[in-house]
Structure 1
Amino acid sequence: MGVQTNPCLVVLAAYSLILIQANITPVLAHVINQTESPATAAPQAPPPVAPVAPVRSAMQPLQATDLLTADKPCSHGLERQMPYFGMGAPGPSGSAGIPGLPGAGGAQGARGERGDRGEPGLSGFPGSKGDKGDIGAVGPQGLVGLEGLNGTKGVKGEPGRDYTPPSMSAFHVGQSSNLQVTSGSQIISFNAQYINIGDDMSQHTGVFTCRIPGLYYFTYTFRAYSHGSYGLNIDLLVNNVVKSQIYMTAMSKHLMQTQSTIVTLRVGDDVWLKANANTYINGDDEMNVFSGYLINAI
């Protein structure tokens, strides 16, 4: 086990050495001077001994110039009994101490002001191709463009075939006489003929016979006026089958009725008008007419 040193004894020893040196050094210097030049040197009085500082009371507070400071404790309280000395010259600066440990983090500061807008960055790499979008709505129609240049002349075509005008069938007939049907029915004949292309209409019998198969248009118009209990009741027939009709009951004023139809006919089909019972037609060849024509041959 090592020897333990009492710090108070160390302090007392150091203090004794300093005190002895302070009182003996002037005397030794005087003796040496006398010894070196005894013949010529005038006798000199020994230097005065430095007064010993009074011992401070244990209750007297230490000053900033004390040799021993209060922050060096002694178990016996002897630092309060050391003599007073003046402050010496400042010693050399000590070496830098060991850096202290990092302090605890401070509180978050207030949010700073918004900085200036930075310069645009460099363009990035092109991204991958996206999915195809939906078809947009149709935009408004644009303006008519400028007329283009004339094209080059085409190659001469093949000679055409001999032209044969299409066959035609049409008629327009009228009835200028009054017609009254009391009972039963009667085919309406006509005493005026205006058009009869192909001679397919017989105005005396009132029957049209199909010569060219195809699509036909027929129309008929009749006038009636108050005549007792009579009115208009007229049918259009194809091979004795009703295809259209005009029907009007007795009226107290003049009226006109028109009906139209389109039918497909084969060769030999017959078409006519039939007036039924209680029909009275007021004769006028310009008002009571029957017409038909071929629309398209089949």
Structure 2
Amino acid sequence: MDPWFSRPRGMPGPPGIPGYSGMNGHNGEPGLCTCLKGPKGYSGPMEEKGTGASGENGEPGEPGADAVCDAQLCRDSAVRSAPSDTDQSDGGTRDRKRNFSAFSVSRFGTAEALVDTEIITWDHEFSNVGGDFSPETGIFNCSIAGFYFFTFHIYKSSSANYPMVRLMLNGEVQVSIIDADYWDSEDSSSNSVILELSVGDIIWLDLYEGRVLHSSYYRYTTFSGTLLHAR
């Protein structure tokens, strides 16, 4: 029989399965510090104060132009200069509210202009500072020249008859609203404008001929104006 080492070598076998990782070693002992903390240092010597003479004090400054006054004097001055409800400077009594003008009104019910164009009148007055607006006639009469802001909101409750409302200045159309959506029986629309007015100018809203305007207790339809800047 041939010895084993004289036989032909076989094919290499497949690699074996990897073995498991070994366990972690233990942490080493903490190192020991054999050094000692050094002693605290001492403050250095303080130098002697100089022997030179001190400088002279400066001259006091002049009082400021806006010096703060005594509290009581300030209060007295404020009371004397506070505006009063009346002004006698022009030789008569003048209501200070006349330096401003503003109004805001609304309607409760339906308005119709079946025959001719109609000025819209108003049932409820939210405010009327200066009294320049007349809800009964629907006309604003300018008594303070300047720039005014006007805004109006309208409501329709019909798909058969839609409203057309115009803001008029001395009989000339300025801006308008028309709401002609036949598929929507209830709708609200608005418009606004800033106008420069002179004393005596008149402003109103009118409902165009053949149109109907709606409102109710909820005051859907309104008209407002205010002075922005006097001229």
Q: TM-score range by the shorter chain?
A: 0.5 to 0.7
Q: Which residue of 2 aligns with 1:251?
A: 182
Distance in 2, matches of 1:232 and 1:276, equals 8
Answer yes or no: is the 8 Å Cα contact 1:225–1:251 preserved in 2.
no
Q: Which residue of 2 aligns with 1:155?
A: 65
1:33-52 CA distance string (max 9 Å, x none): xxxxxxxxxxxxxxxxxxxx
Identify which of structures 1 and 2 has the higher relative contact order when contacts are C-alpha pairs closer than 8 Å and 6+ apart: 2
CA deviation after TM superposition for structure 1 residue 267, in Å: 0.8
In the alignment, is residue 182 of structure 1 matched against residue 88 of structure 2? no
Once superposed, what is the RMSD of the aligned Cα atoms?
2.4
Answer yes or no: is the 8 Å Cα contact 1:226–1:250 preserved in 2.
no
Answer yes or no: is the 8 Å Cα contact 1:217–1:294 preserved in 2.
yes
In the alignment, is residue 293 of structure 1 matched against residue 226 of structure 2? yes
1:8-19 to 2 correspondences below 5 Å: none
Answer yes or no: is the 8 Å Cα contact 1:216–1:292 preserved in 2.
yes
Distance in 2, matches of 1:174 and 1:226, equals 20
CA deviation after TM superposition for structure 1 residue 184, in Å: 2.3
Distance in 1, matches of 2:164 and 2:111, equals 12
Higher share of residues assigned strand: 2
Answer yes or no: is the 8 Å Cα contact 1:183–1:276 preserved in 2.
no
Answer yes or no: is the 8 Å Cα contact 1:174–1:289 preserved in 2.
yes
Partner of residue 199 from structure 1, selected from 125, 131, 145: 131
Name stretches of at least 5 consecutive residues in structure 2 with no aligned partner: 1-62, 68-76, 84-95
Answer yes or no: is the 8 Å Cα contact 2:112–2:213 preserved in 1.
yes
Moved over 3 A (4+): 159-166
Q: Which residue of 1 aligns with 2:103?
A: 171
Identity of aligned residues (%): 27
The secondary structure found in structure 2 opposite 1:220 is strand
Say how many residue pairs are matched: 145
Partner of residue 242 from structure 1, selected from 152, 166, 173: 173
Distance in 1, matches of 2:81 and 2:144, equals 21
Distance in 2, matches of 1:296 and 1:162, equals 24
CA deviation after TM superposition for structure 1 residue 154, in Å: 4.5
Distance in 2, matches of 1:202 and 1:231, equals 26
1:35-75 CA distance string (max 9 Å, x none): xxxxxxxxxxxxxxxxxxxxxxxxxxxxxxxxxxxxxxxxx
Name the TM-score, length of structure 2 as normaliser.
0.57
Answer yes or no: is the 8 Å Cα contact 1:227–1:280 preserved in 2.
no
CA deviation after TM superposition for structure 1 residue 162, in Å: 4.9
CA deviation after TM superposition for structure 1 residue 266, in Å: 0.8
Q: Which residue of 2 aligns with 1:277?
A: 209
In the alignment, is residue 220 of structure 1 matched against residue 152 of structure 2? yes
Answer yes or no: is the 8 Å Cα contact 1:233–1:276 preserved in 2.
yes
1:61-98 CA distance string (max 9 Å, x none): xxxxxxxxxxxxxxxxxxxxxxxxxxxxxxxxxxxxxx
The secondary structure found in structure 2 opposite 1:283 is coil
Name stretches of at least 5 consecutive residues in structure 1 with no aligned partner: 1-152
Kindly tell me: are residues 227 and 179 of structure 1, through their superposed partners in 2, closer, same or farther at Cα, counting changes over 3 Å?
A: farther
